[in-house]
Chain A
Amino acid sequence: MKSVRDTVILFGRSMRHIQRSPDTIITVAIMPIMFMLLFVYVFGGAIHAGTGNYVNYLLPGILLIAVATGISYTAVRIFTDTQKGIVARLHSMPVARSSVLWGHVLTSLVSNAISLVVIMLVAFVMGFRSSAYPTAWLAVAGILALFTLALTWLAVIPGLTAKTIDGASAFSYPLIFLPFISSAFVPTDTMPTPVRAFAEHQPVTAIVNTLRSLLGGQPAGTDIWTALAWCTGIAVVAYFFAMRAYKRVP
C-alpha cells in the first residue's frame, strides 16, 4: 500500500518534469513522423510492399521506433536523479525503495503513450485507415504497452550504471535502428539470406506483423504469440538485471 502511494507521488513528480519540458514528447514523436513522411512520400512510390496503402504498412514499425526513442529519456532521468543525490535522499527517507524506479517506469508508459497517439493522428492525416474492431485495438494497445514496459526496464540499466549522461542515452540508438532490418519498411522476401534470417528472427518483425494484422482487421496468427513471448522475455530479463544494478546503488 505504502509502495503504491509513494509510486503515485513520484510518478506525479516526473510527469511534472514532462509538463515543464513538453519537448520530450515532441522530439520523441518528431523523428518517427519524419521517417514516415520520408518513406511514404519519397521512397514509398518505389517500394512494392504488396499493399495498397503504404501508410498502413509502415505505421507499426514507426510506432516501435518512437518507443525506442522515448525510453532513452527514462535512462537520462534515472541517471540525473542518481547523480544529483535525489535517489540517495529518497533511500534515506521512509519511502518504499521499489517506488523510486516504478515512478519513472510509469512515467515512461504514459509519456510514450501520448507520443504514440500524436503519431497515429499524423498517420491518419496521411491516409492511415483501420478496419479493426475495438478488441483488436485493445490488443494493439496492450502489445505496445508491454513493448514499452520491456524497453523501459532495459533503459533502467544504463540509467543506473552509466558513467556519463551521453552513455545513458546512447544505448537506445541500436534499438532505434532495429526496425530497419525487419519487416517494418519492406517485406523480408527480397533481402539476402543472412540478413533475411536475422530480420525474420528478431523481435521487431514478429511485433510489427502482429500489429499490422490486428490494425488491418486480419487474424494475427501465431505471430502474436512470438511477439508476446519476445516482449515478456525482454521485460523479465531486463527487470532482473535492472534490479541487480539497483541493489548496488546506495
Chain B
Amino acid sequence: MTVAAVSTENLKKDFKDTSVLKGVDLKVQRGEIFALLGSNGAGKTTTINILSTLLKPDSGSATVCGFDTVGEPERVREKISLTGQFAAVDGILTGRENLVLVARLRAVPNPTQVADSLLRQFGLADAARRRVDTYSGGMTRRLDIAMSLVGTPEVIFLDEPTTGLDPEGRLEVWKTVKKLADGGTTILLTTQYLDEAEQLADRIAILHDGRIIASGTLHELKRLFPPAKVEYIQKQPTLEEIFLAIVGTKAAEVDR
C-alpha cells in the first residue's frame, strides 16, 4: 500500500476562545487534485497552514508523504510547496529574480535555467526582466504558482488560488492547475467557488464550521441528493460567458 500524499486525523485548532478546527479528517491520494470547499471562516486556511508546518495543531495529527508535520517539519518542507492566499512575491525584484531566489534557497542545480524554463512555461518570458510591481493580477498569480513549482515538490497547496482574479485570470490558473496534475503532482486546493471545485477536482471535501461534512468525487456527492429531475429550461448565456466571448473576439482581432 502506498502512503497517502496528505492525511489528517481528528485535527483540532483553537484561536483564543474560538475553535476553528473541530476534528478534521482528510485523505488525499498521490497525483490527484483535491478541493477543500468551504465558505469564509470555515477553517480552510488553518488546515493548509497546519499541513505546511506554519501552525501546530492543538490535537490530532497531520502527515504529508508519511512525515508528521509537527515531528518532522523539515522533511515535510522538502516535499511541499505553499501558494498562500495572497501572492507572496517580491515586488521590487523582477519575475526572473523571484524564481532564481526560490531556486537558490531550495538548492536546485542550475537556478537560472530552472527560472527561465518556468518563465516560458507560464507565459512570462517577455515580462521576465520587469519588476513584479508592474505585473497584472493574473501574471502575479502565475508567477506565484511558478515559484511553488521550483524544485518539483510532490505536493502543492494552493490556498484560494483564484480569489481576487478577473475571469480571464481565473481561467489561466485553472489551465495551469490541470497541467500540473497531468504531470503527476498532488494538489490540495481550497476554494469558496463551487464551480472551481467542480471544474478542477478529482475529489472534493466540504469543510463547514471546522468539520468535514461531506467528501467524495463529484459523482458521489451528487448521489447524496435526490435523483435529478429532467426539466427543460431555456439556456441563457451567463454574464461571464458574454464577457469572455466579447473580450475573446477583441483579443483575436488584436492578434491579427
Q: A residues within 8 Å of B by Cβ?
A: 6, 9-10, 13, 16-17, 20-21, 84-86, 88-95, 250
Contacts and interface: CB of A to CB of B under 8 A. Distances in A.
Interface string B32-70: 000000000000000001001111000000000000000
Given A16-B97, A20-B92, A93 B77 contact: yes
Contact of A95 (B49, B97, B105, B147): B105
Contacts of A6: 105
B236 to A, nearest CB: 39
Interface string B117-159: 0000000000000010000000000000001000000000000
Nearest to B102: A93
B93 interface: yes
B82 A90 contact: no
B105 A17 contact: no
A94 B53 contact: no
Given A17-B92, A250-B49, 5 more contacts: A17-B93, A89-B82, A93-B77, A93-B81, A95-B105
A91 B53 contact: yes
B12 to A, nearest CB: 17
A10 B102 CA distance: 10
Nearest to B148: A89
B53 A92 contact: yes
Given A17-B92, A85-B84, A91 B105 contact: no
Contacts of A250: 49, 54-55
Contact of B88 (A9, A84, A94): A84
Contacts of B53: 91-92
Most B CB within 10 A of own CB, among A13, A16, A91, A92: A92
A1 to B, nearest CB: 12
A86 B92 CA distance: 13
B14 interface: no
Given A16-B92, A89-B84, A9 B104 contact: yes
Given A16-B92, A84-B88, A92 B97 contact: no
Contacts of A9: 101, 104-105
Nearest to B78: A94
Contact of A90 (B55, B86, B105): B105
Nearest to B91: A84
Nearest to A16: B93
Contacts of A20: 92, 131
Contacts of B84: 85, 88-89
B106 interface: yes
Nearest to B83: A89
Given A250-B49, A250-B55, A93 B106 contact: yes
Contacts of B55: 250
11 contacts: A10-B105, A13-B90, A17-B93, A84-B86, A88-B49, A89-B82, A92-B53, A92-B77, A92-B81, A92-B82, A250-B49
Most A CB within 10 A of own CB, among B53, B78, B92, B147: B92
A13 B101 contact: yes
Given A6-B105, A95-B105, A85 B86 contact: yes
Contacts of B88: 84-86, 88-89
A99 to B, nearest CB: 9
Most A CB within 10 A of own CB, among B74, B81, B89, B90: B90
Contacts of B49: 88, 250
B163 interface: no
Contacts of A85: 84-88
Contacts of B86: 84-85
Given A9-B105, A92-B81, A86 B54 contact: no
A85 B147 CA distance: 13
A24 to B, nearest CB: 11
B93 A13 contact: yes
B106 A94 contact: yes
Interface string B8-50: 0000000000000000000000000000000000000000010
Nearest to B56: A250
B81 to A, nearest CB: 7
A93 B92 contact: no
Contacts of A88: 49, 54, 82, 84, 88
B6 interface: no
Nearest to A249: B54
Contacts of B93: 13, 16-17
B197 interface: no
Most A CB within 10 A of own CB, among B74, B105, B147: B105
Contacts of B104: 9
